[in-house]
Amino acid sequence: MSRHVTAGLDGSPQSTAAAEWAAREALLREVPLRLVHADEWPVWTADPEVRAAVQRRWADQLLTGAAEQLRAKNPSLDITTRRLSGRPPAALAAEAADADLLVLGSRGLSCVMGFVLGSVGMETITATEAPVVLVRAPKPPGTGQDPPAGASRDVVVGVDVHQSCDPLLEFAFDEAARRGARLRALHGWSLPPIVRDALALEEAELDMAPDIAHRLAETLAPWKRKYPSVTVVERTPVGAPSQLLVQSADDADLVVVGRRGRRSRLGARIGPVAHAVIHHCASPVAVVAHH
């Protein structure tokens, strides 16, 4: 595999933000950046050959313009471009197979912080084993939806202490080490449903909390030894993991969540926690496949 970071462009402000994020990531990794555009022109359109030629010219101009702007900002970065053919999810997934990670833009909701991925983004995530980072365009100053100046720029990772998640933790620790950032490792858990009154809830939490914290510490221990420079903050609060991750990500530089390659009759699924974080987190989100 040739080491590089790939960013998908579609002409939107979100994909421009993704390309800028990918450029910074490529510099951190000391690898080239590849800008790609994937488009499948409908065969039923009038004058398909002419329309396809127009589309190709537009795509080439998009890629060339983005590359020139990024080179002006990052003169030391090696940037190449590639126009992909075929269905965008499949084309992007195939491209991601040859990259360290794939970076895509995601459209923020107008009133509610979050991501609207659409079928292309979701299909791409479930079709590739490479990490996929989702980036939204920055909000205008004064909207209150971006981290305040001087906010902590930690890496946040959601950890399931009941399952093996080595690829997820390796990615999270590596990103934190590369940035010189703290790593906040979070595992949310629930009390037994049979516990009803407040006193019993408090007793159950006191009984179970030390064991949960111990499991998280054991899960992280080998990675803390491998990455001694990374300061790790371990948290095991009671609550829904997705909500806790979104709340913890307000001032994060990157949020890392895992997905398992599960399939249903409705197609591939990424799991409820990853799905919720992707759609409601304002910070960049890395989705890492693990089995």
For residue 255, what are the domain limits? 151-291
If asked whether residues 283 and 157 sit together in one domain, one would say yes
Residues 168 and 239 in one domain: yes
Number of domains in the chain: 2
Supply the pTM of this predicted model.
0.85
Same domain, 188 and 123: no
103 and 204 part of one domain: no
Over its length of 291 residues, how does the chain's per-residue pLDDT go in tens digits? 568 999 999 888 889 999 999 999 999 999 999 999 987 655 555 566 667 788 889 899 999 999 999 999 999 999 999 999 888 888 999 999 989 999 998 864 433 334 444 556 778 888 888 999 999 887 655 544 454 444 458 999 999 998 889 999 999 999 999 999 999 999 988 766 665 565 555 566 667 788 899 999 999 999 999 999 999 999 999 888 999 999 888 789 999 999 875 554 445 567 888 888 888 888 999 999 986
pLDDT digits (tens, 9 = 90+) for 147-174: 444 445 899 999 999 888 999 999 999 9
Query: pLDDT of 94-132, one tens digit each?
Result: 999 989 999 998 864 433 334 444 556 778 888 888 999
Are residues 2 and 34 located together in one domain of the fold? Answer: yes
Give yes or no: residues 2 and 138 share one domain. yes
* Residue 156 shares a structural domain with residue 263: yes
If asked whether residues 85 and 171 sit together in one domain, one would say: no
pLDDT of residue 151: 46
- 275 and 246 fall within a common domain: yes
CATH number of the domain that residue 212 is part of: 3.40.50.620
Q: What is the 3-state secondary structure (H, E, C) of the chain?
A: CCCCEEEECCCCHHHHHHHHHHHHHHHHHCCCEEEEEEECCCCCCCCHHHHHHHHHHHHHHHHHHHHHHHHHHCCCCCEEEEEEECCHHHHHHHHHCCCCEEEEEEECCCCCCCCECHHHHHHHHHHCCCCEEEEECCCCCCCCCCCCCCCCCEEEEECCCCCCCHHHHHHHHHHHHHHCCCEEEECCECCCCCCCCHHHHHHHHHHHHHHHHHHHHHHHHHHHHHCCCCCEEEECCECCHHHHHHHHCCCEEEEEEEECCEEECCEEECCHHHHHHHHHCCCCEEEEECC
